[in-house]
A and B are shown apart, each in its own frame.
Chain A
Amino acid sequence: GQQLNQSPQSMFIQEGEDVSMNCTSSSIFNTWLWYKQDPGEGPVLLIALYKAGELTSNGRLTAQFGITRKDSFLNISASIPSDVGIYFCAGQSTKTSYDKVIFGPGTSLSVIP
């Protein structure tokens, strides 16, 4: 089946540092979505990407849709303690229907004050 890989699996950073994480797939994706999940809560949509090469920002967050359409990255600048959580990439592949969104395993971010 379709699978997404995310790296790193977890990261520990100092407050104020920039963060970069990425997501890769073996197949081409039409859409990339980045979500953040706090413990015991539902995923919250951060950024949606629809075109290869697209670079989109949401405050301190920036995400890009890779040119090959098989990857995406998320950057967080000047991290703060409330950035702590699990970041999931998700996407819709050309091999599945438009409706089905597949999630990656997540990157767990810890921010040390």
Chain B
Amino acid sequence: EPEVTQTPSHQVTQMGQEVILRCVPISNHLYFYWYRQILGQKVEFLVSFYNNEISEKSEIFDDQFSVERPDGSNFTLKIRSTKLEDSAMYFCASRPGQFTNEQFFGPGTRLTVL
């Protein structure tokens, strides 16, 4: 069964460093998302991406964040200068198309900022 994959599973970085989190969405899906989940809290929407551009972003997704689909398969989230409060699980999700809102999540990347 096709699934969303994410790498790395765990990333440790120093405050102020740049990180890139990578995702491979399900191959025929058209809509892509990033969410984050701070330990013990709910899943929070960050950004949605369709047709090679951001379609919506939350207030969390400030200028330190960017997303890119550099080729036909990868979808990346870049955090330019990490802060301690960026420590969280980051989930990528994808959705097949226009007439369904069913989003399928990857296993997540645990980001630890020291």
On A, residues with C-beta under 8 Å from B are 30-31, 33, 35, 40-45, 48, 50, 88, 90, 92, 96-106
Question: Quick one: given A42-B106, A97-B56, are A88 and B101 in contact (CB under 8 Å)?
Answer: no
CB distance B42 to A106 under 8 Å?
yes
Residues of B close to A97: CB separation below 8 A = 55-56
Interface size grouping (class) on chain B = 20 to 34
Residues of B close to A40: CB separation below 8 A = 108, 110
Residues of A close to B101: CB separation below 8 A = 30-31, 33, 48, 50, 92, 98, 101
CB distance A101 to B45 under 8 Å?
yes
CB distance B43 to A99 under 8 Å?
no
Closest to A105 in B: B42
A sample of 13 more A-B contacts (CB under 8 A), given A42-B106, A43-B43, A44-B105, is A40-B108, A40-B110, A42-B107, A42-B108, A90-B43, A99-B33, A100-B48, A100-B56, A100-B58, A101-B101, A102-B45, A103-B44, A105-B42
B62 close to A (CB within 8 Å):
no
CB distance B102 to A42 under 8 Å?
no
Beta-carbon contacts of B33-49 to A below 8 Å, as 1s and 0s? 10100000111110010
Residues of A close to B55: CB separation below 8 A = 97, 99
B24 smallest CB distance to A (angstroms):
14
Max chain A C-beta neighbours (<10 A), residue from B4, B41, B58, B101:
B101
